[in-house]
Amino acid sequence: MIDLGDDQGMHIAVKAADTSSAAARPVAVYAQGKIFAGNLVIQHPTPAQRFFLNGRSGTSLFTLMLIAAASIIVIVMTPKFNDQNLFRKDASGLIRILGYLVIFHGIALTFLNTYEYRIVQEATQQTFNPLSRFPILLWGEMYAGFVIVAIATWYRRGVQLQQEQDLTV
Cβ-contact 54, 60 below 8 angstroms: yes
Q: What's the pTM value of the predicted model, to 2 decimals?
A: 0.75
Predicted confidence at residue 96, as pLDDT, reads 93
Which is it for the CA torsion 17, 21, 24, 30, positive or negative?
Answer: negative
Q: How confident is the model at residue 23 (pLDDT cuts 50, 70, 90)?
A: low
**Comparison of pLDDT for 27 and 62, the residue scoring more:** 62
Cβ-contact 73, 98 below 8 angstroms: yes
Query: What is the rounded distance in angstroms from the CA atom of residue 13 to the CA atom of residue 36?
Result: 10
**Comparison of pLDDT for 101 and 121, the residue scoring more:** 101
Cβ-contact 72, 65 below 8 angstroms: no
Cβ-contact 140, 110 below 8 angstroms: no
Hey, where are the domains in the chain? 10-167
Neighbour count for residue 163 (Cβ, 10 Å):
11
**Max CA distance (Å), the chain:** 83
Closest CA to 104 of 156, 146, 43: 146
Predicted confidence at residue 71, as pLDDT, reads 94
Q: How many CA atoms are closer than 13 Å to the CA of 110, on its beta-carbon side?
A: 13
Q: What is the pLDDT of residues 42-97, one digit of tens each?
A: 777 888 888 887 766 677 888 899 999 999 999 998 887 777 777 778 888 899 99
Cβ-contact 106, 141 below 8 angstroms: yes
If DSSP codes are grouped into helix, strand and coil, which group holds residue 13? strand
